[in-house]
Structure 1
Amino acid sequence: MKKKIKVFSVLAVILLAAIYYYIYLPAINIHAAGFWVFFIVVALLVAASFAMRKVKKTGDIRSPLDFSEAKKDKRVKISLAVAAAFIVIFLVGSILSSPIINASKYQQLLNVQTGDFAEDVEQISYNQIPLLDRESATILGNRKMGSLVDLTSQFVVSDLYSQINYHGKPVRVSPLSYASLIKWFTNAGDGIPAYIRIDMATQDTELVRLDEGMKYTPFDHFQRNLYRHLRFQYPTYIFDNVSFEIDEEGTPFWVCSVKKFNIGLFGGQTIGRVVLCNAVTGECEDYAVEDTPSWIDRVYSADLLVSLYDYYGTLKHGFINSVFGQRDCLQTTNGYNYLAINDDVWVYTGVTSVTSDQSNVGFVLMNQRTMESRYYQVSGAIEDSAMSSAEGQVQHLGYDATFPLLLNIAGEPTYFIALKDEAGLVKMYAMVNVEKYQIVATGDSVTECQKNYMALMKENGISASASDEGAKQVTGKIAKLFDAVVEGNSHCYVILEESDQIYDVSVADYIAIVRYEVGDTITLEYTEDGEAATVLGIQ
């Protein structure tokens, strides 16, 4: 009988440990906190198993069980001692890995170079400016889903909405997910049939249907759950950021970043490897972080990059100085946004003194694929001030400002802000000069906003010509002229010989256009903005 009890106890401990592992999926790695918790739980289960064999029943109603023998059992004591040892190692390891002891090592985790804003951040075409934030993208995605009768009863749009570059354009992508557990049972065989793709410049929202459904996602269960699928293939990897991306052919993938700890047991986290998982087939490819394919945009999460810069900015003179003296301590502001530069996604955030909350001393751009970081010393308003200035311009409309993008307009660092109505949809745009945030321009379109902003800068003595802002120039004979009234304003549309490009000239801004006829030679300065190029000057 005792032998059967012993066998049953061993099997019970093994079963409970296996269930715990299957549910919580701890990495078998000494750098993983879950690893230590797992073995602490196992040690306590073993102690409980030994103790239960020594527990005796008593006749006392108030104390029905006698634990005196269990407390004396050596195996119980050893198991509890092992659990205590794991707890001590975990606590000591956490302290020895902390910035309190390793301030200089934390400060050096991020290599920050000083950059030249005008050179590094070129003026981008307006069709490359991400006009939508995540909340607005979510509203558009849900509206699109609501119009699809065949899918809306079975699926919903997940809230991931990863921002990536797709064919040189900023887009947000998000997979569908099962509407409920029951819907998973009825649809799991075919998988998730589509994902949402939103062009952040044009706000075009598209449901992309797949030839074969996605069967490996965080929304699946059992062995097809993405995290369980990864764990059993890579039992020692400690996964950090898992993001949804598509390659240039539109194939869905999960980009799974693997943590690397550079300081002690648990400190100095960066990224060491990247696992690329095909969402349809479940096939995985493992890369060293420096060998990550160039089409991948999100290896380092924005939150990780921001925390690394905070270590860099606050720990220059040690941990104690970061708390008390705070000499030369800099920190990021309370938000961030994304910029698309050279087919990579960069995190933008302002940098301010820890003792000041009214102005920035500069800003930093951090590459989400390579961790490359550049600091630009440009003093000016913090983002919150710029957002308040933009909202003040349209206070009669009650619009809310999104967190700014940082753009190069005529060589000037400029906050670009989308203004949303109560429904969360973008209605207007604002540009705020970083150094002189009282210069605020708004417009119903990006082009109108930019024109108003350029005019305000000239009025305030800031040199900003069309050529300065990276506009293109063309000379040719006029092949066609068309007049039109758009939203109450007169426009002249010009087509030059041997060209299909349409040039949009605002008659109110450039009245000289009325002197030109078909066959005349004209020189236009313009920026590409959708189907028709916007003319910024006539020579």
Structure 2
Amino acid sequence: MPAQGPDFKDLFEHLRREKGGKGAASGPSLVDQIAKWSRRALIIAAIVLVVALVVCYWWFHPALNLGSQQVWTWICGIALLAILALAVAAARSIERAPLLKKLMVLPGAVIAAFLVGLLLSQPFVPGNAERYATVLTTTDGDFATDIQQVDYADVPVIDRDSAILLGNRAMGSIPEYVSQFEIADTYSQINYRGRPVRVSPLAYADLFKWFSNRDAGVPAYVIVDMVTQEAEVVRLEQPILYSDSEPLMRNADRHVQLSYPSYMFDQKSFELDEEGNPWWVYPVQRKTIGLFGGTTIARVVLLNACTGETLDFAVEECPTWVDRAYPADLLIEQYNWSGAYQGGWLNSWLGQEGVVRTTSGTNGELGYNYLAQGEDIYLYTGVSSVTADNSNVGFILVNQRTGDSRYYALERGGATEDSAMASAEGQVQHLGYQATYPLLLNVAGQPTYFMALKDAAGLVKMYAMINVEQYQSVATGSTVEECQEGYLTMLAADGLLSEDAAADASSQREVTGVVATVAQAVVEGNSHFYVTLEDDPAGTIYDFALPELIEIVMYQPGDTIAFRCGEKIEGLATVTVSELL
């Protein structure tokens, strides 16, 4: 009987191994399970995997470029699958297992290369901080010389939110469009035929509307004049076929990426050429530090939104009607690199001597605005010290087509944009108006914040001007002309401008004549009297706003009247009166 003991022990060990090795609760590994598949099952799995990868590439269309982190995600994922496949093959063939395990080093090396490339892109790597600081080259400029004197015919008086309200209102006047389309949220600011405007294409309202209208395409785009506040839905002879609202082959992003598979595209914009044809503008990124660092723009691809035609230009050769070759967010990031690392990486963390950054915006967004000069759009943002951000030490203007960057220092420092907005809102706190993000103007050689004041409905009610360096006083007015007059008077009172210079800078003129007609209307809840004068060949219509000019109610046709008003602005039907004399 004692001799049978070892047999029971061997049987127990055999049963334990059958149940999974060391413990009965543990099961076979994933590799062991896959290793038991038949060859046919493995071939089918491989085909399904390849088809899935092709479909995913078509749908997500990542750039086939080693500078793209998105494509590295795919590469590392494939490398991990390769390691799994080699492990399965090693489990199926004991003889070839040593060789297959050695081959796992190759996909492992690919993953290691990604980590090394990521490391070499960091600013703390020796030499990288200096390279980051020079991605954007900024030179010093003279504000009074470089920036043209303000022309109120070109001053945008509304922001993006107001443009959206005006665009929706214009869209609502066309019932056949409202039922099928909506306005895309693009609203790019561009210079169109010498005027600052925001443009945005229509988009299919939903997937079913796309299915019903995909053959005819998108019939129009919306353009909002930021000076006159006029919005228009522009009908196209040839419809827009390539847009964001196209889900399949005519999706604009997919069409461009598959046409240029190795290009890494940055944020696109919607623009118009001088003939009013709609284009998508795609900046092409180039990485200059490590695998992923030092992003800049090397080329620009233009996509005709109607035909699908693409044009490829070096960034310095793109057409002059293109306004946004360099995205605003990228320019802000580039300048912040130079502001942080001009003294080296260690200084950016410890001493922080001379370290500056662009000023922050509101609602968690970047703080910048746009300035129209000639044919180009310039990005504006203030610059503050990283150790004391309660005032600006200067500001920058960057040409979004060429990338030319200029820095303008403030001798005595200046107000930050958010403090200027707070000052303007405090001036009209009894009305509860909200200030838009400031626009930088050159008024009589003085850098000046200009902003609109909006009511709770988002409608512009007043305007404000604040000197960037002398920001204690605020000039407001119901019209741009009235605000300007108050601002020039304030500059003269503060000693920043002589009375003669203030008079020369004023666009106001005195008019005397005999009233021909008087008409009253209510515009956006405010009463206005519109007056024409006898013997006026131009037939100018003068706008008297109430309650500021309440005395106008006493005038009748035939009465002699004298008043002060601005010059007539092209595109505006009326001339605003600032004062009765």
Q: Given the two structures, how large is their TM-score scaled by the length of structure 1?
A: 0.86
Question: What CA distance in whole angstroms lies between the structure 2 residues aligned with 1:10 and 1:489?
Answer: 75
Alignment partner of 2:466: what SS?
strand
Q: Deviations over 1:289-326 (max 9, x none)?
A: 01000000011011111111111112111011011110
Question: What CA distance in whole angstroms lies between the structure 2 residues aligned with 1:72 and 1:205?
Answer: 71
Contact 2:220 2:234 in 1 (8 A): yes
Tell me the percent identity: 46
Correspondence list, 1:500-511, <5 A: 500=538
Contact 1:261 1:270 in 2 (8 A): yes
Contact 1:493 1:505 in 2 (8 A): no
Q: In structure 2, do the counterparts of structure 1 residues 479 and 527 end up closer, same or farther at CA, with 3 Å as the change threshold?
A: closer
Q: How many angstroms does 1:481 deviate by?
A: 7.9
| 1:235 alignment partner in structure 2 | 261
**1:253 maps to which of 279, 285, 305:** 279
Q: Deviations over 1:165-211 (max 9, x none)?
A: 00100000011111111211111111111111000111101001111
| 1:338 alignment partner in structure 2 | 370
| 1:518 alignment partner in structure 2 | none
Q: In the alignment, residue 401 of structure 1 is paired with which amino acid?
A: A
Q: In the alignment, residue 408 of structure 2 is paired with which amino acid?
A: Y
Q: In the alignment, residue 231 of structure 1 is paired with which amino acid?
A: Q
Question: Which sections of structure 2, spanning at least 5 residues, go unmatched?
Answer: 1-36, 361-366, 521-525, 550-563
Q: In structure 2, do the counterparts of structure 1 residues 463 and 356 end up closer, same or farther at CA, with 3 Å as the change threshold?
A: same
Q: Deviations over 1:102-148 (max 9, x none)?
A: 01111111111111111111223212111111111112222222332
Q: In the alignment, residue 213 of structure 1 is paired with which amino acid?
A: P
Question: What CA distance in whole angstroms lies between the structure 2 residues aligned with 1:132 and 1:505?
Answer: 20
Question: What CA distance in whole angstroms lies between the structure 2 residues aligned with 1:145 and 1:485?
Answer: 29
Contact 1:48 1:76 in 2 (8 A): no
Q: In the alignment, residue 458 of structure 2 is paired with which amino acid?
A: G
Q: How many angstroms does 1:32 deviate by?
A: 1.4
Q: Deviations over 1:328-373 (max 9, x none)?
A: 1111101100000011000000011101121111110001000011
Correspondence list, 1:458-537, <5 A: 458-464=492-498, 465-466=501-502, 468-469=504-505, 500=538, 527-529=567-569, 530=572
Correspondence list, 1:89-488, <5 A: 89-101=113-125, 102-334=128-360, 335-378=367-410, 379-464=413-498, 465-466=501-502, 468-469=504-505
1:31 is aligned to 2:63: no
Question: What CA distance in whole angstroms lies between the structure 1 residues aligned with 2:251 and 2:402?
Answer: 28
Q: In the alignment, residue 233 of structure 2 is paired with which amino acid?
A: L
Q: In the alignment, residue 491 of structure 2 is paired with which amino acid?
A: M
Q: How many angstroms does 1:436 deviate by?
A: 1.1
Q: Which has the higher strand share?
A: 1
Q: In structure 2, do the counterparts of structure 1 residues 472 and 457 end up closer, same or farther at CA, with 3 Å as the change threshold?
A: closer
Alignment partner of 1:130: what SS?
coil
Question: What CA distance in whole angstroms lies between the structure 1 residues aligned with 2:205 and 2:94?
Answer: 53
Q: In structure 2, do the counterparts of structure 1 residues 534 and 214 end up closer, same or farther at CA, with 3 Å as the change threshold?
A: closer
Q: In structure 2, do the counterparts of structure 1 residues 180 and 74 end up closer, same or farther at CA, with 3 Å as the change threshold?
A: farther
Question: What CA distance in whole angstroms lies between the structure 1 residues aligned with 2:302 and 2:459?
Answer: 34
Q: In structure 2, do the counterparts of structure 1 residues 19 and 532 end up closer, same or farther at CA, with 3 Å as the change threshold?
A: closer
Q: Deviations over 1:207-239 (max 9, x none)?
A: 011112211112212221112111221111111
Q: In structure 2, do the counterparts of structure 1 residues 191 and 77 end up closer, same or farther at CA, with 3 Å as the change threshold?
A: farther
Q: In the alignment, residue 92 of structure 1 is paired with which amino acid?
A: V
Question: What CA distance in whole angstroms lies between the structure 1 residues aligned with 2:483 and 2:508?
Answer: 19
Q: In structure 2, do the counterparts of structure 1 residues 467 and 451 end up closer, same or farther at CA, with 3 Å as the change threshold?
A: closer
Question: What CA distance in whole angstroms lies between the structure 2 residues aligned with 1:255 and 1:41?
Answer: 32
Q: In the alignment, residue 389 of structure 1 is paired with which amino acid?
A: S
Question: What CA distance in whole angstroms lies between the structure 2 residues aligned with 1:485 and 1:212?
Answer: 42
Contact 1:39 1:83 in 2 (8 A): no
Q: In the alignment, residue 55 of structure 2 is paired with which amino acid?
A: I
Alignment partner of 2:190: what SS?
strand
Q: In the alignment, residue 383 of structure 2 is paired with which amino acid?
A: V
Q: In structure 2, do the counterparts of structure 1 residues 75 and 244 end up closer, same or farther at CA, with 3 Å as the change threshold?
A: farther
- Indicate the larger mover: 38-47 or 160-169: 38-47
Question: Which sections of structure 1, spanning at least 5 residues, go unmatched?
Answer: 57-67, 510-523
Question: What CA distance in whole angstroms lies between the structure 2 residues aligned with 1:227 and 1:188?
Answer: 17
- Indicate the larger mover: 142-151 or 398-407: 142-151
Contact 1:501 1:532 in 2 (8 A): no
Contact 1:504 1:532 in 2 (8 A): yes
Question: What CA distance in whole angstroms lies between the structure 2 residues aligned with 1:203 and 1:505?
Answer: 16
RMSD: 3.4
Alignment partner of 1:127: what SS?
coil
Q: How many angstroms does 1:501 deviate by?
A: 8.9
Question: What CA distance in whole angstroms lies between the structure 2 residues aligned with 1:287 and 1:281?
Answer: 18
Alignment partner of 1:267: what SS?
coil
Q: How many angstroms does 1:6 deviate by?
A: 4.5
Q: In the alignment, residue 190 of structure 1 is paired with which amino acid?
A: A
- Indicate the larger mover: 325-334 or 44-53: 44-53
Q: In structure 2, do the counterparts of structure 1 residues 213 and 198 end up closer, same or farther at CA, with 3 Å as the change threshold?
A: same
Q: In structure 2, do the counterparts of structure 1 residues 489 and 534 end up closer, same or farther at CA, with 3 Å as the change threshold?
A: closer
Question: What CA distance in whole angstroms lies between the structure 2 residues aligned with 1:36 and 1:489?
Answer: 62
Q: In structure 2, do the counterparts of structure 1 residues 535 and 158 end up closer, same or farther at CA, with 3 Å as the change threshold?
A: closer
| 1:16 alignment partner in structure 2 | 52
Q: In the alignment, residue 57 of structure 2 is paired with which amino acid?
A: Y
Q: How many angstroms does 1:43 deviate by?
A: 2.6
Question: What CA distance in whole angstroms lies between the structure 1 residues aligned with 2:529 and 2:256?
Answer: 60
Question: What CA distance in whole angstroms lies between the structure 2 residues aligned with 1:98 and 1:384?
Answer: 32
Q: How many angstroms does 1:479 deviate by?
A: 9.8
Question: What CA distance in whole angstroms lies between the structure 2 residues aligned with 1:137 and 1:76?
Answer: 62
